[in-house]
Amino acid sequence: MKEHIDKATFDQILEMDDDPDERDFSMGIVVGFFEQAEGTFKKMEKALEKKDLKELSSLGHFLKGSSATLGLTKVKDACEEIQNYGAGKDKTGTNPITEEDSLKKIHESLATCQADYEIVEKSLRKFFGVENDSEKNVDK
């Protein structure tokens, strides 16, 4: 998990809680991020279908900032790649690439980003004792 979450950054979020046993403030931030990320992933998928590189770059930038705030390093890195590819640049954001290459690389980075997100989401839901909405609706 260490490679997915920067402990120092995440600890700063936890320090903002009034009660370390309740964690209401930090849990609210994290759950809000989950909702934001899932909505952004849907928008990214639609923008990818439309081949809207400008929108993909913007959405990558948006989610990069949110994930960086929580210390979600792998999600942040994949979002930065999406931002760069959407701007018609390579992974590092320095060299131009074709639209076709941009779309292909965004597709790959989005899959990586979503997989990394699922790992941190599961871990953080466990940490905060928060169920996933889809898990609540499963008949047991």
pLDDT tens sequence across 85-130? 999 999 999 999 999 999 999 999 999 999 999 999 999 999 999 9
Query: ∠ at Cα 73 (69, 77), nearest 5°?
Result: 105
Where in the sequence is the domain holding 98, given as residue range(s)? 7-16+25-127
Is residue 37 a part of any domain in this protein?
yes
The DSSP symbol for 5 reads B
Q: Please give the model's pTM, rounded to 2 decimal places.
A: 0.91
CA distance 111 to 6: 21
- The domain that holds 72 is classified in CATH as 1.20.120.160
CA distance 86 to 68: 19
Task: Judge whether 20 and 14 are in contact, CB under 8 Å.
Answer: yes
